[in-house]
Amino acid sequence: MEVPILKQGDFLIATVQAALTDADLLHFRRALIQQVVRCRSQGVIVDVTSLDVMDSFASRTLREIAQMIRLRGAQTVIVGIQPEVAFAMVQLGLTLENVATALDLEEGLAHLKQKSESTA
């Protein structure tokens, strides 16, 4: 299952559309980092609204993505974690520490714009 990555100005928007296997997640990580480099992106949004389970592997992969992108000097925001998914994640002990999250795409974009203005 390929995750589409769209370029919007200085930002990239990746929308997870269906359940991802571990292999899909690793493929997505690679593809996203490549796009960040190619597009010289300032910020990335990963929209997980349609994910119904976020287990330890998915959570770890998202955290690694955010860390890699930060090392490139860009920001990552995870948006759309469903309330039930958030509940299960916390029970499991997955807190996505040091990763920015936002309610939805709109809030995520606002967050990235604010960040890029404050560093400009």
Partner 1 sequence: MENEIQVPINSDQDIVAARQKGRSLAVALGFSSGDATLIATAISELARNIVTYAQCGKIRLTVINGSTRQGIQLVAQDQGPGIPDIQQALRDGFSTSGSLGLGLPGVKRLVDEFAIVSEENRGTTVTATKWKP
Positions touching partner 1 (CB under 8 A) are 19-23, 52-57, 59-60, 82-85, 87-89, 91-94
Of residues 97 and 117, the one with the C-beta less far from partner 1: 97
What is the nearest approach in angstroms of partner 1 to the Cβ of residue 13?
24
Residue 97 is encoded by which pair of tokens? Answer: 């520490």
What is the nearest approach in angstroms of partner 1 to the Cβ of residue 53?
5
Of residues 19 and 103, the one with the C-beta less far from partner 1: 19
Cα torsion angle, 83, 100, 15, 23, sign: negative
Residue 75 is encoded by which pair of tokens? Answer: 């920001």
CA 31, CA 5: separation in Å to the nearest integer? 9
What is the nearest approach in angstroms of partner 1 to the Cβ of residue 109?
27
Of residues 10 and 55, the one with the C-beta less far from partner 1: 55
Of residues 95 and 114, the one with the C-beta less far from partner 1: 95
What is the nearest approach in angstroms of partner 1 to the Cβ of residue 51?
10
Going by DSSP bridges, is the β-strand pair 5-8/11-15 parallel, antiparallel, or unpaired? antiparallel
Contact 116, 10 (CB under 8 A): yes
Going by DSSP bridges, is the β-strand pair 43-47/75-79 parallel, antiparallel, or unpaired? parallel
